[in-house]
Amino acid sequence: MTDTVRVRFAPSPTGALHIGGGHTALFNWLWARHTGGKFILRIEDTDRERSTKEFENTILAGMKWLGLDWDEGPDVGGEYGPYRQSERLDLYHKYAEQLVEEGKAYREGPAIIYRLPEGEKISFDDQVYGYIEVTSDSLLKDIVLIKSDGMPTYNYAVVVDDHCMNINYVIRGEDHISNTPKQILLYRALGWEVPTFAHLPMILGKDKKKLSKRHGATSVYEYRDQGYLPEGIFNFLAILGWSAGDDREVFSREELVELFELHRVTKKAAVFDTDKLNFVNQEHLKNMDPRERLELVKPFWKEAGLPVEDYSDEYLAQALVVMGGRGRTTCELAQYSDYFLSFDRVKERYDASDIPEDQKEMLKGFFAEFLKVRPWTHAAMEEMTRSWAADKGVKLKLIAMPMRFALTGVKVSPGIFEIAEFLGPEELEKRLSWFGLV
């Protein structure tokens, strides 16, 4: 077996790339990149009724969106191909026949079945779960290699493929621990070296039950469509069941590649905490290049019917900078920033009916002075406002809250003077005038 680390991700093309599969793929990719090894993509498409080319394409696209590139696979080739099980049937039959000839397997009609040896000790050192030992008697029944329809079973095909593709690290979900002894027996029967195993903790919902649709989105693409960043999902999946050894939760891809070690993977089930995902994604969103962030937000503005084409990219990118890191996803960021693109949205939410007449008169006097502030900077505006309020004995919130609602239509926003500076005096006067405040 080669000294170079060779790992694989082997999805079945019977659905989109779900979070559990993305998690397994990511840990394999990180180990390959950390060690300077190879990451192989293999398609396990022996379920002929449910496997489709469309699902295969969707899985590949999902991995590419996450930034998981592969060194060998069905679309890029490699010296150990083919990389679809449906194209490797001759191999499975060849080794099954060999086991029959050696008396280690027998036929039952068209099926071929491996005969379990009696009382054989099977042990392995799992990189995550430690030393595991069972006896062959505990496996209870012989192992089907080739089914009556001529297709290989999972436990057999995976052994043939991993050996023939020189896979020396098998990193997969902990639900496969029970399969490992069967597979080790098949490695031994065929005279092959057994790879190193590392089983990853199960991902649970916050209710401590296995992750499913009731916990929210389950496919990688659903998160993309909700406005999550690939960097955010990548980072969050990496810290599900793994720790760098400190309290950090936000990492770049490069940092994760450098820090990733299998011995830091935890045995404890990982909890898919949407609040943590939102925090991690928001941090990556904050740190994005403004123009790149703009391109991700634009489709959500357009979907909401906002007049994106009426503004320059420079204006729109800066509007998102003014947002100051608000919005956990690009979808939320688009939603929270609509007042930069449309005053109509403000008018739909707010009508100034909450302002008593005496307060309105006070605000008219204030804004008449406020609009003369120069230079037109948030610092100058704030200084003038504090000075005016102190001079007139007016509480700041009696000025700031009506101003916030008149400009944005919402109770919570970035600093109101930063918004006023960005919108400019003409737009400010237009909005204040609509509500009878100037």
Beta-bridge partners for 98 = none
CA 48 to chain centroid, in Å, comes to: 29
* CA 89 – CA 161 distance, rounded (Å): 11
* CA 311 – CA 379 distance, rounded (Å): 26
Catalytic entry in 64, 206, 209, 213: 213
Contact between residue 428 and residue 371 where contact means Cβ atoms under 8 Å apart: yes
- All residues at 6 or more sequence positions from 9 whose CB lies less than 8 Å from its CB, including other chains: 21, 24, 25, 28, 29, 39, 40, 41, 42, 63, 68, 70
Active site residue 141: no
Q: Which two tokens stand for residue 33?
A: 């990149």
Taken in order 174, 175, 176, 178, the sign of the CA dihedral is positive
* CA 71 – CA 38 distance, rounded (Å): 6
Residue with tokens 């001529």: 150
Contact between residue 200 and residue 35 where contact means Cβ atoms under 8 Å apart: no
DSSP code of residue 123:
E
Q: What is the DSSP string of 40-104?
A: EE-B----TTT--HHHHHHHHHHHHHHT---SBBTTTB-TT---BGGG-HHHHHHHHHHHHHTTS
**Catalytic sites, residue numbers:** 213
